[in-house]
Amino acid sequence: MIVNVRQRSRLHHGAIGSLILIFSILFTACSVSAPSQVSPNQSSNPAAPQGTIRIGLVDWAEAIVVSNLWKVILEREGYQVELKELDVAPLYKGLAQGDLDLFLDAWLPGFHRNYWEKLGNQLEDLGSWYEGKAYTGLAVPSYMKEVNAIADLEKHKEAFKGEIVGIDAGASVMRLVEEKVIPAYGLSYKLISSSEAAMLSKVRKAYQMQEPIVFLGWNPHWMFTEWDLKYLEDPKKVIPEGEEIRILAHKDFSEQYPEVADALKRFKLSDAELGEMENEIFNKGNDELAVVRRWVEENQALVDQWLGKQNSK
């Protein structure tokens, strides 16, 4: 608009053209001289949350659900959220270095003990969110009637082809099985590493054919609602019990995002609530963000409790 006025001022030399030119110059000067009150790192809305919250996650069902759940919740509150999928070791390192802000699937005090002992002084523990019993162990289909304990595996090595089907090689439970469980029970088995999805595909195929398979199972997970499975007894107590799924943050997180930290400390999910979302995503094949958005909308009162809004209405 200013350009048009200036063009007209060059075409007209009368009083009206001069007044328009003066107005244009004054308007431009005012626009230029007015300093911006918003720095490059600030929002134009002073009440809007600042910065990007980076959530690290591993390719495990419960991690995918809760990480996407909090992405949706925080974005609805005005935060920017990035999800970064990593293996466990680089995830802990990134969290300690401040390259990541949150990890919502820390299995403590057992399975991730080595990472916590090494890096815990650079991390902040925001508490446990899973209300059920978290456990990982060797599992088989319940139709394997003669196999009920880990020690039974050696007698049925031929049926299982001497293989335990596992997940990604960097997972703590894989090292536990390889270095402690197999030696403790004198098993001459090979632990096969794969992704969670690949392992579950093998379980599905074996279950459909009623064939033998031994693999890594854990709760919480939808596999135990999809199939009739059982954990193998561990009388030597090699596998940790009493695990909690905890939320870890880098050590400055509560200072940078106090309201988010408080909300995460209030966050709790039951087996049924988690299982509902896992079933929609992993059994029915629905998009994870669409599933958690719908869940948030249908459970807004619960989400408001986590956010500390239940007394604000």
Pair of tokens at residue 137: 């162990």
pLDDT above 50: residue 42: no
Q: Would the pLDDT of 3 be above 50?
A: no
Question: Would you say residue 45 has pLDDT above 70?
Answer: no
Number of H helices, E strands in the chain: 14, 10
Q: Are 222 and 283 a contacting pair, CB within 8 Å?
A: yes
For residue 133, the model assigns a pLDDT of 84
Q: Write down the pLDDT at residue 311.
A: 59
- Residue 275's contacts (CB-CB under 8 Å, 6 or more residues apart) are 220, 222, 225
Assigned token pair, 15? 């009083």
Q: Is the pLDDT of residue 32 over 60?
A: no
Tell me the pairing of strands 135-141 and 215-219.
antiparallel
**Domain parsing of the chain, residue ranges:** 2-27, 52-131+244-306, 135-231
Q: Which helix (H) or strand (E) holds 210?
A: none
Burial class (CB in 10 A: 0-12, 13-18, 19+), 258: exposed
First to last CA, the chain: 46
Residue 58 has pLDDT above 90, yes or no: yes
pLDDT of residue 49: 65
- pLDDT value of residue 159: 98
Q: Do domains 52-131+244-306 and 135-231 have the same CATH topology?
A: yes
CATH code of domain 135-231: 3.40.190.100
Range name among 14-28, 92-106, 224-238, 299-313 with the lowest pLDDT average: 14-28
DSSP 51: S
CA–CA separation, 186 and 277 (whole Å): 39
Q: How confident is the model at residue 18 (pLDDT cuts 50, 70, 90)?
A: very low
Give the amino acid at 299: N
Question: What's domain 52-131+244-306's architecture?
Answer: 3-Layer(aba) Sandwich (3.40)
Convert 121-159 to b/e letters by CB count within 10 Å (16 or more is b).
eebbebebbbeeebbbbbbbbeebeebeebbbbeeeeee
The stretch 141-145 carries a mean pLDDT of: 98
Give all strands (DSSP E) within the chain, no chain letters.
52-57, 80-85, 102-108, 123-128, 135-141, 163-165, 190-192, 215-219, 229-231, 244-250
* Predicted confidence (pLDDT) per residue in 233-275, tens digit: 999 999 998 899 999 999 999 999 999 999 999 999 998 899 9
